Amino acid sequence: MAICIVVYKINNIKSKYSIDTKEIEGIITNIKNDEEKTILTIKSKENIVGYYKGDIDLNLGDKVKIVGDFNELSSNTNFNLFNYKKYMLSKNTYYSMNIDNIILIEKNNNIFYKIKTYLVERISNIKCSEYLNTFILGDSSYISDNVLESYRTNGISHLFSVSGMHITLLSCLILYILNKVKKRNINYLFVILFLLFYMFLTNFTPSVMRATFLFIFLTLNKLLKLNLSTVRIFLLILMINIIINPYNIYNIGFKFSYIISFYLIIFSKIINRYKGYIVKTLVTSSISFLASIPILINNYFSINIMTILNNIIFVPLISIIIFPFSLIVILISKLDIIFEFMINVLESLSLFITNFKIELIFCKVNIFIIILYYLIISFVLYKFYKRKYKYIFLIVIVLFIHTNINYIRNNTFVTFIDVGQGDSSLIHLGRNKSDILIDTGGKYNYDTSKDIISYLMSVGIKDIDFLILSHGDYDHMGEAINLVNNFKVEKVIFNCGEFNELEQDLIKVLKKKKIKYYSCIKELNIDKNKLYFLQTKEYDNENDNSNVIYTELDGYKFMFIGDVGVDKEKDILDRYNVNDVDVLKVGHHGSRTSSGKEFIDEINPKYSVISVGKNNRYGHPNKEVLNNLKDTKIYRTDQDGSIMFKIKNNKLKIETCSPQEGR
């Protein structure tokens, strides 16, 4: 029944506003300054995230009217990656808004918002306020990205989410103080009221709600002598939370919090079997790590097997020293010098330990494989409880098979990755024979190299055998250095002509990393496949020197045009007999300088792919080019997101990411 309710609500919950809405009234529930803009969360009929250029003189709890333009929240435009829209739905947010004007209707009179405002202002004046925001208010967005990434890599990011550890410490501390005055059952009520207020302070984050409701239900179970098991209470809380907001299933914090806690509860007898803080921490970390594996795989596409050992170091450091001290610093701000020292040690240690990570890459899997994972994990832990330790190798075997799955699968596919106004294409040959990346895109409102690396990992690719750069323009190779610095690349191939400054900078990195590189080659032999480079002349501009690549994959013809102009397309027609191409990567993002009618008519593509940024300033793709391609099936990354051509059993299957809001 609960599942039916969840499915019904997901399919039927809709926004109370429309995209044409121009103004709303509501209460400010969150304020964040971000460089040149202020980010507001407005609670109205539903939550709205608003962006206002400049500063504002408003406080939490103020009632305002905001005027501006509504925007659809963006979905992921690359396969398997983070879906911002679904995540925001878990926060009851359907739209963002570019705010033109803010009108104060009524100043805040709510005592709870006044307390929160005071706490936020007090925290902002203390050193290392970003960590006080994290530990006290549950907002880790102020911590620098590279440090946050080190926490995630080391498998300790859960320690920076306000959760059971924090709630347990706070509730026990308050209960201890109250019991010192007088021990009575009503003390539990005061603790519950505080925890409910604390949920408000942390904006009702899933982990805080779980821990708070678990405390409340366990307290009621004890006082009313209901004799309900902890597991039943936990499952009841889970069901209530999902029914209230089914979109919570898209919130990774929600999934981590509930799944890990569930496993710690049902296998608590294993933990309680051991004595000593270090041993208990090791066992707890091991269970938590095993429970988190499927979530890590499907969201980050890798696991660090050093996570368990890392937790032995960081759990006591944070739970026993840093978090409790953060509570003291809130009361005695002059101690922030000591707190700053602790944070510096914490960050330095985390960044240092990332150098010793042992990371395994896993492709994304469907729900049935995830269920299978949890069945195996549960079976192994049950056997471990029975002191049958040999079954742990079952998990090792499954992980080994999964991380090497591309050696088994015989799927050849070509993916045109959405990198905004730029180019990036992946050729993956079946049974892991080779992976070829053509171009990397350039930074276009976001770091495209992160998207490329995440996508590669999500399909189980551990390294790039050949990185081919069509030419030296930024929108084709601007992220090449980031890519080779953060992902294993075997060989790099440049186009003909002199190396420009961007290419020279990359070559310096390649030499330092001892990565082989070549330029102006005629063909590339990979197993039984060949890539032919049709453009081997040298011209006086970078675009015309672009690599033009032709290949046949399992009987299907693919052609990748860089940015060559119409005249050079004619040169290719004069030198080569290329026709009836199945898939054409259209030249120069659909610019009128490429894809001449004569060229298109001669090669006669069945499908055409235009890699182009949404609402780009160049006006790509050009109407004349689209007209030249009218007899082909056209795919565009600004409209379709990433496009994958998958060849299986000699049949071509096409998939798109189909974003509602592209980049």
| Cis check: omega of the bond before 246, within 30 degrees of 0 | no
Residue 487: other Cβ atoms inside 10 A: 18
**Are both 206 and 78 inside the same structural domain?**
no
Q: Is residue 180 part of a domain?
A: yes
> What is the per-residue pLDDT for 643?
98
Give which of 39, 51, 45, 42 is closest to 15, Cα–Cα.
45
SS3 323: helix
**Are both 609 and 627 inside the same structural domain?**
yes
**Are both 46 and 146 inside the same structural domain?**
no
**Are both 37 and 134 inside the same structural domain?**
no
In this structure, which amino acid lies at residue 109? N
Q: Is residue 248 part of a domain?
A: yes
Q: If you average pLDDT over every residue of the chain, what do you get? A: 92
Which of 331-340, 442-451, 582-591 has the least mean pLDDT? 442-451
SS3 439: coil
Q: Is residue 62 part of a domain?
A: yes
The label of the residue with tokens 């990570």 reads: 357
**Are both 395 and 412 inside the same structural domain?**
no
CATH classification at residue 638: 3.60.15.10
Distance separating alpha carbons of residues 85 and 73, to the nearest angstrom: 5
> What is the per-residue pLDDT for 236?
93
Distance separating alpha carbons of residues 88 and 245, to the nearest angstrom: 12
Reported as type and span, the H/E element at residue 41 is strand 37-43
Give which of 258, 176, 252 is closest to 213, Cα–Cα.
258
Q: Predicted confidence band at 662 (pLDDT cuts at 50, 70, 90)?
A: very low
Q: What is the pTM of this model?
A: 0.92
Q: Is residue 661 part of a domain?
A: no
- Strand locations in 54-140, DSSP E? 63-72, 93-106
> What is the per-residue pLDDT for 5?
55
- Residue 306 is classified by DSSP as T
Give which of 458, 355, 414 is closest to 653, Cα–Cα.
414
**Would you say 492 and 467 are in contact if contact means Cβ atoms under 8 Å apart?**
yes
**Are both 413 and 517 inside the same structural domain?**
yes
User: Using one digit for the tens of pLDDT, what is the confidence trace for 59-112?
Assistant: 999 999 999 999 999 899 999 999 999 999 999 999 999 999 999 999 999 999
Query: How many domains, the chain?
Result: 4
**Are both 414 and 550 inside the same structural domain?**
yes
Distance separating alpha carbons of residues 415 and 456, to the nearest angstrom: 10
**Are both 477 and 422 inside the same structural domain?**
yes
Say yes or no to pLDDT of 4 above 80. Answer: no
Residue where one domain finishes, among candidates 108, 137, 172: 108
> What is the per-residue pLDDT for 566?
92
> What is the per-residue pLDDT for 166?
84
Q: Is residue 520 part of a domain?
A: yes
Distance separating alpha carbons of residues 542 and 230, to the nearest angstrom: 67
Residue 375: other Cβ atoms inside 10 A: 10
**Are both 277 and 253 inside the same structural domain?**
yes
Region 560-574: what's the mean pLDDT? 92
Q: Is residue 663 part of a domain?
A: no
Helix residue ranges per DSSP H, 90-205: 111-124, 129-137, 145-153, 164-181, 186-201
User: Using one digit for the tens of pLDDT, what is the confidence trace for 100-151?
Assistant: 999 999 999 999 999 999 999 999 999 999 999 999 998 998 999 899 999 9
**Are both 10 and 71 inside the same structural domain?**
yes
Rg (CA), the chain: 28
Residue where one domain finishes, among candidates 387, 403, 419: 403
Q: Is residue 557 part of a domain?
A: yes
Tokens of 85: 């829209």
**Are both 315 and 384 inside the same structural domain?**
no
Residue where one domain finishes, among candidates 75, 108, 141: 108
SS3 312: helix
Q: Which domain holds residue 254?
A: 120-364
**Are both 622 and 598 inside the same structural domain?**
yes
Kindly state the percentage of the chain with pLDDT values over 90. 78
